[in-house]
Amino acid sequence: MILCATCGKENAGEAPFCRSCGHELRTSRGPRRVEIVRSASPGFAFGPGPDERTCPACAALVPPGFAYCGSCGASVPSGSHGTASGRPSRLRARLVGIEPDGSEGASWHLDGDEFLAGRSVGPVRLSEDEYVSPRHCRFFYMGERLHVQDLDSLNGVYRRVRGDITLNPGDHLRLGRQLLRIEPMEPAPRLTPEGTRMWGSPDPGYRARLIQLLEGGGVGEVFPLETGDNLVGREQGDIAFPGDRFVSSRHAVISVAPDGVRIRDLGSSNGTFVRLTAATPLDSGDALLLGGRLLRVELRSA
């Protein structure tokens, strides 16, 4: 048996995740392996009990009293008994990995109530992507709606823009290989308290700006945004990234108005993505970026 270094609960020796708290057991924290001897009456063997449940993600048996699957780390709600074959009774949603060439890769069925995604924990395991945090985000159902929530990951969770959406100060965008942050620009006073006029380049009415964020956290170019439409593209636009082949010629439009800033994708090949800042309901066909991995959401009725 293994004692979890996080919560101290007992786990089977081969279990990679704690069945009580969901944390990974084989980590540098050094879980303690102990032998636990249990007494049993002659002629009786331990086997699946009436209160054992089935993991909705991998169908492993979960003993009563445990909140997480010891095999895959998925959350196991009380009463998840599954069907007689040990499989969940219905498919509620599926995540499909999209490869760089556009083909479908690995997929994950989301039949339980909550699933972790990360580089080293959870059933949605993205172990080969160094931009994915060990414990990146969680998928869960609220009512009949599937939601995703970032778990303070380094690189966040991004959803592809559909239609026209509002941008808030501090929002992060991904398009092509570009990472951008939007910031407001307050009009500067033209005169000092002493009445001296400040010299500077003519201001055509900038009210917001895009900050290019470089790999590693540095700041690159700064793009001021005029009131009205600002075209973003590779070959055309007020904001151009000619060296990024993943940016379409005419990729997106950022509109600045007195009541706010909005963005609209122009049917680009690779899409425009906005970082999610709170738990967000998902629709069928939504595309998510976790690190460098693109996932498509498929929702199915029971």
* Residue the block writes with tokens 């699946």: 48
| pLDDT at residue 29, as a whole number | 42
Domains of the chain: 93-156+277-299 (2.60.200.20), 163-185+205-275 (2.60.200.20)
Mean pLDDT of 130-146: 94
C-alpha–C-alpha distance, residues 21 and 17, integer Å: 8
| pLDDT at residue 19, as a whole number | 65
Q: Summarize pLDDT for 74-133 with one digit per residue, the tens.
A: 677 665 444 333 444 354 899 999 999 999 999 999 988 899 999 999 999 999 999 999
The neighbour count for residue 22, using CB atoms within 10 Å, is 24
The number of CA neighbours under 13 Å toward the Cβ of 258 is 0
Confidence of residue 3 (pLDDT cuts 50, 70, 90): low
| pLDDT at residue 88, as a whole number | 42
Confidence of residue 34 (pLDDT cuts 50, 70, 90): very low
The answer to whether residues 4 and 12 touch, using CB atoms and an 8 Å cutoff, is: no
pTM of the entire structure? Answer: 0.70
| pLDDT at residue 55, as a whole number | 66
Mean pLDDT of 14-32: 58
C-alpha–C-alpha distance, residues 2 and 32, integer Å: 6
Asked whether residue 31 carries a pLDDT value surpassing 70, the answer given is no
Label the pairing between strands 228-233 and 239-240.
parallel
Q: Summarize pLDDT for 244-295 with one digit per residue, the tens.
A: 999 999 999 999 999 999 999 999 999 999 999 999 999 999 999 999 999 9
Asked whether residue 68 carries a pLDDT value surpassing 90, the answer given is no
Asked whether residue 179 carries a pLDDT value surpassing 90, the answer given is yes
Arithmetic mean of pLDDT over the chain = 82
Considering only CA atoms, which of 123, 106, 111 is closest in space to residue 69?
A: 123
| pLDDT at residue 195, as a whole number | 86
